[in-house]
Amino acid sequence: MNGKNKLPLRILTALAAGVLVGVVCHFAGWSGWAAAYLKPLGDIFVNLLKLLVVPVVLLSMIDGILSMGDLKQVGTVGVRAAAYFLATTAIACVIGLFFASLFQNAGWFPDLQGQLGEAEYEPIPFEGFQSVLVNIFPSNLWSAFASANMLQVIVIALLFGGSILAAGERGELCRDMAGALGAVMEKLMEFVISLSPLGVFAYMAWITATQGAVILGSLFLVVLCAYLGYGAHGLLVYSLSARLFAGMSPARFFRGSFAAMVFAFTSASSAAALPVSRQCAQALGAREEVAAFVLPLGATINMDGTAIYQCVATVFIASCAGIRLSLAQMAVVVATATLAAVGTAGVSGAGMIMLAMVLEALGIPVAYIGLIVAVDRLFDMGRTCLNVSGDIACALCVSRWQGGKRRGLHWTRA
């Protein structure tokens, strides 16, 4: 086993050790200590990852576009990936609603009508689809980078990657520069990833120490409902994707994606998990240029776990407010949660902010998000794990759809 292959094992050991330390801290009443001394270690690690997110997405996508060599191929890969993302996210919504309705019908979601005061949550106003669309197009290169607005960064990568291709020989220097910068980023990523067991340990210990009581409390059922949805979607949709489209056994898919899944679970950020998911996808045999293009796109717009969470949370909050959703309202949930998931940034906690959009579409008071704020991190870990698995599944499927034969572990062009 070489150093890279040991990473999943190291991360898993760190996760188990973190839970153990967290449980001890929780019961010994040292949660404050864990928050003060362990969490900062995890924060440092996540800061380093955040530092990499913009350059990795930008250079990875430009690299993907340049290695595809022509704009037509970029178009087909983009359209295929987007079709996969949208279809699986819509299925995720249906699965989320299915489990949430089961729980509601079983009477496991409370009806708190009359007892709900002003739940503490200050929603960010949703400004409408037009302004969301307009804001995807950046007016300033640097402000897009500085604010890490990933949809804008993707647009910049598409425009610049496409233009370097179109410039042909005269753009040669830029092509070489993008390649050289990409190589440097890869080394930096390797270094930061090698620190991941430490980050995973620190975060797990902190979360278990501080959220232990909440897991045991009344919100347990709604978190369980979301996790059933995550599990069902992963087993159903990604197993089928792996078997039918990517030509590999589900067991191999999940084994190969394991490091990225554990990493996403602990960091709760698809964008931060990008370097690891790229390694996993390539080790599973995804074409290099497809993985380089599809994974950053997926980490920004493909959020099946988030969609499930938003559906479950919507039904739960509606139930607390004494509302039962009709079939037509559920259709609205599927449509808005799919869009909200696309608009969710691949960072921790973003899915809860976009939940406001779904609630608003149904006329449910957005302030009721306050009911589940305390456990958002628990939802977030599972949904990010699923989000990242979906990105890897898509990279493998699109690699296959682009044609070519797999030689050993790598695809070659037909």
Contact set with ligand ASP (CB under 6 A): 268-270, 303, 306, 344, 346-351, 380, 383-384, 387
Q: Do 201 and 110 form a contact (C-beta atoms < 8 A)?
A: no
Q: Which is nearer to ligand ASP, 289 or 376 (CB)?
A: 376
Q: In angstroms, what is the minimal distance from the CB of 349 to ligand ASP?
A: 5
Residues 6+ apart with CB under 8 A from 159: none
Nearest CA-CA partner of 254 in 49, 246, 266: 246
160 or 203: CB nearest ligand ASP: 203
Least distance in Å: CB of 273 to ligand ASP? 8
**Least Cβ distance, residue 237 to ligand ASP (angstroms):** 16
Least spacing, CB of residue 266 vs ligand ASP, in Å: 12
Closest separation in Å from C-beta 342 to ligand ASP: 11
User: In which residue are the tokens 């990795």 written?
Assistant: 56
Q: How far is the CB of 356 from ligand ASP (least distance, A)?
A: 13
**Amino acid identity for residue 172 in this structure:** E
- For ligand ASP, the closer CB: 31 or 336: 336
Is 149 or 269 the residue whose CB approaches ligand ASP more closely?
A: 269
CA distance 393 to 405: 18
Instruction: Give dist(CA 272, CA 122) in Å, integer.
Output: 26
Q: How far apart are CA 28 and CA 304, in angstroms?
A: 37
CB nearer to ligand ASP: give 26 or 233. Answer: 233
Smallest gap from Cβ 354 to ligand ASP, in A, equals: 7
Q: Which is closer to ligand ASP, CB of 42 or CB of 351?
A: 351
CB of 399 to ligand ASP, least distance (A): 22
Contacts of 217-222 spanning 24+ positions with Cβ under 8 A: 218/110, 219/372, 219/374, 219/375, 221/103, 221/108, 221/109, 222/103, 222/109, 222/312, 222/313, 222/316, 222/372, 222/375
Q: Which is nearer to ligand ASP, 24 or 132 (CB)?
A: 132
Any idea which residue has 């190969």 for tokens?
Answer: 256
CB 238 within 8 A of CB 250: yes
Nearer of residues 165 and 308 to ligand ASP, judged by Cβ: 308
Which residue is at the shortest CB distance from ligand ASP?
A: 351
CA distance 78 to 65: 10
Helix 250-267 and helix 270-283: axis angle, to 10°? 160
Task: Residue 314: name the closest of 281, 289, 336, 298 by CA.
Answer: 336
The smaller minimum CB distance to ligand ASP, of residues 92 and 185, is found at 92
| CA distance linking residue 220 with residue 274, whole number of Å | 30
Cβ distance to ligand ASP smaller for residue 152 or 384 = 384
CB of 200 to ligand ASP, least distance (A): 16
Q: What is the per-residue burial (b if ≥16 Cβ within 10 Å, else e) of 38-67?
A: bbebbeebbebbeebbbbbbbbbbbbbbbe
Instruction: Give the chain's radius of gyration (CA, Å).
Output: 21
Least distance between ligand ASP and beta carbon 298 (Å): 10
Helix (H, G, I), strand (E, B) or coil at 135: helix
What whole-number distance in Å separates Cα of residue 117 and Cα of residue 368?
9
From CA 379, how far away is CA 349, in angstroms rounded? Answer: 9
Token pair listed for 277: 């998911």
